Amino acid sequence: MTNQEIKTLGEKYVMNTYGRYPVALVRGEGTLVWDADGKEYLDFLGGIAVNALGHCAPEVTGALKEQADTLIHCSNLYWIEPQVQLARLLCENSVFDKVFFCNSGAEANEGAIKLARKYSELKYGPGRHTVLTMDNSFHGRTLATLTATGQPKFHKHFHPLPEGFSYAPFNDTAAFEEALTEDVCAVLLEPVQGEGGVFAADADFLSRVQELCRKKDILLILDEVQTGMGRTGHLFGYEAYGLTPDLMTLAKGLGGGVPIGAFLATEAVARAFSPGDHGSTFGGNPLNTRVGQAVLETMTAPGFLEGVREASSYFRRGLNILKEKYSFIREIRGLGLMVGLDLTFPGAELTRQGFEEGLLFNCTNNTTLRFLPPLTISREEMDRALAILDSLFSKACPEEQEGK
């Protein structure tokens, strides 16, 4: 089918919830993808931080094929070997002791919120159930996680929202202290706000957050759905800040393209759950956990994360050269290969032009171009992307795009 044929069929049968480009991506290899009409793109969006090892990485496809021929699904009423192996690997490579597997980032956050509330209720009785989150955050689209999301635009039309959430400004220690009221059982935050515009937390802020949480036995839940799995140049974002959170949520990169989510907790917290408290039919299924195992084994191999940090420095150096050249580039933000380039004008048109020129990235927070390339990106691919951006910026006319 052609791009146009797929688009026409999609408009007829698929719900209208995304603003989409008028193409279908049908094949990928590494950093490259091709649309249905054969046009090639450099993918610097990576399925929004999902294709951490690039498209159709041999580690991912190999594990998938092998597991597909062995056992695709069985119920969590039985032990699942790849699930157990992935849980072991995650715990051995983190500060956590126990894992629950689910299917997406939103589900991981839902589960972490449930666990935090039960932990608090068992210890302190009912009423201490509020989850404090940050302004401008993003935690998912289910009713609880969109309520946790500190951006009113996502709440509109979906009232009544679940109770038990409060908000504080990001990176504001004094306001955070004030927001830690007696009813708060957990703080949920992203070490680097992704959808909100690629804003990294200040190290001082996070260390004070952790200190205050510890003092009051408020659980610190890090949403590492986007920052986790090597994205920041560390296996998990909390390592970059020297934190020891009580819970962490993962999804996106963990499956290298296969849907999977997880939340991890320390033993003391995980103990609050007992059989019947939480579950998921597909969660921890042999197919996706076998792939997760392959992804994690690849990322923990010697030199992998160092490679991510080197690639990040190289790409940022190139972007900073562009920043020197174009005064409308306000800031280069983020951590590792989670990169935001903030403009003095809305970025939608440049994002569209990038797509036309065969470079995929997106725009968040109205003015921030966001790049989430595969962690395996090469220098040559980064050079190509930087050349395309240079050419786009050289033709950009900020005055014209003001107010768009």
Contact positions toward ligand PLP, by CB under 6 A? 48, 104-106, 109, 138-140, 190, 194-195, 223, 225-226, 251
Give dist(CA 57, CA 386) in Å, integer. 24
Min separation Cβ 304 and ligand PLP, Å: 22
Closer CB to ligand PLP, 139 or 234, in the complex: 139
Min separation Cβ 291 and ligand PLP, Å: 16
Min separation Cβ 134 and ligand PLP, Å: 11
Closest listed residue to residue 179, CA positions, set 125, 130, 127: 130
Closest listed residue to residue 32, CA positions, set 376, 404, 390: 376
User: In angstroms, what CA-CA distances link 60 with 104, 231, 258, 284, 374?
Assistant: 18, 17, 9, 16, 13
Give dist(CA 58, CA 31) in Å, integer. 13
Give dist(CA 135, CA 40) in Å, integer. 38
Q: Which amino acid is at 376?
A: T
Min separation Cβ 43 and ligand PLP, Å: 17
SS3 of residue 35 by DSSP = strand
Token readout for 357 is 């020129």
Closer CB to ligand PLP, 251 or 299, in the complex: 251
Min separation Cβ 64 and ligand PLP, Å: 19
Closer CB to ligand PLP, 111 or 318, in the complex: 111
Token readout for 133 is 């989150």
Q: Which residue minimizes CB distance to ligand PLP?
A: 105
Q: 329: which strand partners?
A: 343
Closer CB to ligand PLP, 338 or 343, in the complex: 338
Closer CB to ligand PLP, 51 or 109, in the complex: 109
Give dist(CA 296, CA 307) in Å, integer. 15
Closer CB to ligand PLP, 232 or 401, in the complex: 232
Min separation Cβ 287 and ligand PLP, Å: 17
Closer CB to ligand PLP, 3 or 364, in the complex: 364
Min separation Cβ 28 and ligand PLP, Å: 19
Residues 6+ apart with CB under 8 A from 257: 47, 50, 51, 55, 56, 60
Give dist(CA 39, CA 3) in Å, integer. 10
